[in-house]
Amino acid sequence: MQKIITLRTESRCALYDITGRVKDIIKESRVINGIASIYARGSTAAIMIQENWDDSVQTDVITLLGKMIPSGIWQHDHQDNNGDAHLKAGLVGPSETIPVIDGKAGLSTWQNIFFCEFDGPRNQREVVVTVLSDK
């Protein structure tokens, strides 16, 4: 089964929790055991599994990436001023794969799935969720 999650982003760089939407797709798929692939469409976005206890971890991720990959110093900036967004997305990566166990997302208590926006705000972003059964 494959579904597309659409979302609107409000900031240039931010993490958006999409865990609930992915869990709904897994439930809808009726897969008991297998895998779920979560893939961000776009070269300036990514997917990350991270803690969601509070906003501090998400803020720290954005702060770290901003220090590691500052804006305004890359060759690609001469074209459309988003060289840092491409590098951040490439570093984090476009996808994550999680197990489906007994019909549920095989995440631990503190793991959540985040869409990472590095070139926002955007009116529409897409995440492809593909759920496959082990049978």
| Span 82-101, pLDDT tens digits | 999 999 999 999 999 999 99
Does residue 81 lie within any of the structural domains?
yes
Tell if the pTM clears 0.85, that is, is over it. yes
Does residue 87 lie within any of the structural domains?
yes
Calculate the CA 124 to chain-centre distance: 14
Q: Which domain CATH number covers 92?
A: 2.60.120.460
Q: In this structure, what token pair is assigned to residue 28?
A: 């809808």
Does residue 1 lie within any of the structural domains?
no
**Which pLDDT belongs to residue 128?**
98
- DSSP letters spanning 21-62: HHHHHHHHHT-SSEEEEEEEESTTEEEEEEE-SSTHHHHHHH
Does residue 49 lie within any of the structural domains?
yes
**Which pLDDT belongs to residue 10?**
98
Query: Domain residues for 69?
Result: 10-31+38-100+111-130
Does residue 5 lie within any of the structural domains?
no
Q: Are 40 and 96 in contact (CB under 8 A)?
A: no
**Which pLDDT belongs to residue 135?**
81
Does residue 2 lie within any of the structural domains?
no
The tens digit of pLDDT for each residue in 32-80 reads 999 999 999 999 999 999 998 888 999 999 999 999 999 999 999 899 9
Count of domains observed in the chain: 1
Termini Cα distance of the chain: 13
